């Protein structure tokens, strides 16, 4: 089931359902592109038809953040819970470990992705992991593409920032069975960015914690009130016959 939020058709799946879909895609070798859609991305795509079509053409679009969960409820088709990029990645690791999947991490500053790989391999030694930082030139890009293709990942995680990673993944669908845009997840996996304490996450206040820790996000978050207003207007339009 999907809910249309400002033109983006977000899946209503829970985390468990999303993980299960991805597991089946890997098992059955079904190419699957996943977008974790946060309010900024949804708002941007509302203004940009090309981006909107590109996101909507993904096989799975998850509700990345409490703002999207709220919007879905407002619009009458609740999603079960938020499915953020980093939570999805963390939830995939135990299965990837049990099934000995090949994972490729692309993105993050040089040094960061190596650190992320080290942390993950320590905990999940059966995952076959490779990666590359996300600051490659156009000339280097061909080599990066060849590296990924040669590795034949079951799952390719791309953290180049949105929407660049979404364009990049749509442009290179042949690289892996499952591909997921994961934003700044490698920074979190490497321990460069510390996530909000669990209590704050439970109270849906992780966004506030991130604003406090990364004040540069203030500018990006100014989109949130506009997102809220647009969703409320969409809700009114829906109710008016
Ligand atoms: N990044 C990258 N290459 C670039 C620009 C950004 O790999 O050319 C990485 C950056 O290091 C960071 C991620 O993309 O790890 C973007 O993180 P951010 O938290 O801004 O993304 P979000 O999760 O909000 O989409």
Measured CA to CA in angstroms, residue 61 lies from 19, 86, 148 at distances of: 13, 14, 23
**The most confident of 22-31, 185-194, 220-229, by mean pLDDT:** 22-31
pTM of the model: 0.94
| Residue with more model confidence, 206 or 83 | 83
- Is 103 a member of any domain? yes
Nearest CA to ligand 1 atom 11: 108
Cα 159 to ligand 1 centroid, rounded to whole Å? 6
User: What pLDDT score does 207 carry?
Assistant: 84
Q: How many domains does the chain have?
A: 1
CA 182 to chain centre: 4
User: What pLDDT score does 108 carry?
Assistant: 97
Element (H, E) at 89: helix 85-98
- Tens digits of residue pLDDT in 14-65: 999 999 999 999 999 999 999 999 999 999 999 999 999 999 999 999 999 9
| Residue with more model confidence, 3 or 217 | 3
- For residue 35, the SS3 value is strand
pLDDT at 116 over 80: yes
- Is 26 a member of any domain? yes
Element (H, E) at 139: helix 138-151
- Tens digits of residue pLDDT in 136-148: 999 999 999 999 9
Cα 28 to ligand 1 centroid, rounded to whole Å? 31
* % residues pLDDT > 70 (the chain): 99
Ligand 1 atom closest to Cα of residue 193: 19
Nearest CA to ligand 1 atom 17: 184
Closest by CA position to 184, among listed 36, 78, 17: 36
Q: Are 134 and 159 in contact (CB under 8 A)?
A: yes
Question: Taking all residues of the chain, what is their mean pLDDT, rounded to a whole number?
Answer: 95
- Is 73 a member of any domain? yes
Q: At 75, list the tokens.
A: 């619009």
Which residues line the pocket of ligand 1, CB cutoff 6 A? 107-109, 134-135, 159-162, 183-184, 186-187
- Is 227 a member of any domain? no
- Is 208 a member of any domain? no
Nearest CA to ligand 1 atom 24: 183
- Tens digits of residue pLDDT in 80-103: 999 999 999 999 999 999 999 999
Nearest CA to ligand 1 atom 18: 184
Cα(139)–Cα(40) distance, integer angstroms: 30
Q: Are 164 and 138 in contact (CB under 8 A)?
A: no
Closest by CA position to 210, among listed 229, 197, 225, 222: 197
User: What pLDDT score does 180 carry?
Assistant: 98
Q: Supply the range of the domain harboring residue 166.
A: 2-195
Ligand 1 atom closest to Cα of residue 107: 7
- For residue 36, the SS3 value is strand
Cα 186 to ligand 1 centroid, rounded to whole Å? 9
Cα(68)–Cα(174) distance, integer angstroms: 30
Cα(223)–Cα(41) distance, integer angstroms: 10
Cα 234 to ligand 1 centroid, rounded to whole Å? 30
- Is 215 a member of any domain? no
Cα 238 to ligand 1 centroid, rounded to whole Å? 35
Closest by CA position to 196, among listed 217, 179, 180: 217
Nearest CA to ligand 1 atom 5: 160
Cα 151 to ligand 1 centroid, rounded to whole Å? 23
User: What pLDDT score does 6 carry?
Assistant: 98
Q: Are 194 and 14 in contact (CB under 8 A)?
A: no
Cα(52)–Cα(232) distance, integer angstroms: 19
User: pLDDT category, 241, cuts 50, 70, 90?
Assistant: low
User: pLDDT category, 194, cuts 50, 70, 90?
Assistant: confident
pLDDT at 175 over 90: yes
- Is 95 a member of any domain? yes
How would you classify the pairing of strands 8-11 and 2-5?
antiparallel
Closest by CA position to 92, among listed 79, 81, 101, 80: 101
Ligand 1 atom closest to Cα of residue 187: 15
- Is 200 a member of any domain? no
Cα 161 to ligand 1 centroid, rounded to whole Å? 4
């Amino acid at each position: 089931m999907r809910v249309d939020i400002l033109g983006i058709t977000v899946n209503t799946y829970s985390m468990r359902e999303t993980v299960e879909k991805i597991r089946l895609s890997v098992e059955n070798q079904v190419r699957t592109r996943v977008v974790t859609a946060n309010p900024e991305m949804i708002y941007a795509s509302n203004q940009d038809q090309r981006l909107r079509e590109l996101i909507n053409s993904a096989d799975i679009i998850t509700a990345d953040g409490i703002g999207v969960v709220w919007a879905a409820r407002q619009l009458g088709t609740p999603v079960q819970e938020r499915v953020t990029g980093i939570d999805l990645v963390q939830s995939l690791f135990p299965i990837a470990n049990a099934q000995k999947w090949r994972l490729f991490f692309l993105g993050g500053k040089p040094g960061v992705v190596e650190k992320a790989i080290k942390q993950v391999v320590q905990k999940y030694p059966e995952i076959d992991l490779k990666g590359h930082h996300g600051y490659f030139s156009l000339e280097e890009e061909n080599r990066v593409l060849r590296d990924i293709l040669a590795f034949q990942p079951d799952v390719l995680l791309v953290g180049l920032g949105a929407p660049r990673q979404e364009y990049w993944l749509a442009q290179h669908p042949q690289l892996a069975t499952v591909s997921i845009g994961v934003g700044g997840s490698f920074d979190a996996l490497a321990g460069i960015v510390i996530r909000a304490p669990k209590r704050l996450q439970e109270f849906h206040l992780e966004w506030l914690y991130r604003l406090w820790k990364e004040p540069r996000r203030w500018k990006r978050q100014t989109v949130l009130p506009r997102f809220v207003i647009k969703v409320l207007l969409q809700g009114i339009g829906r109710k008016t016959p």
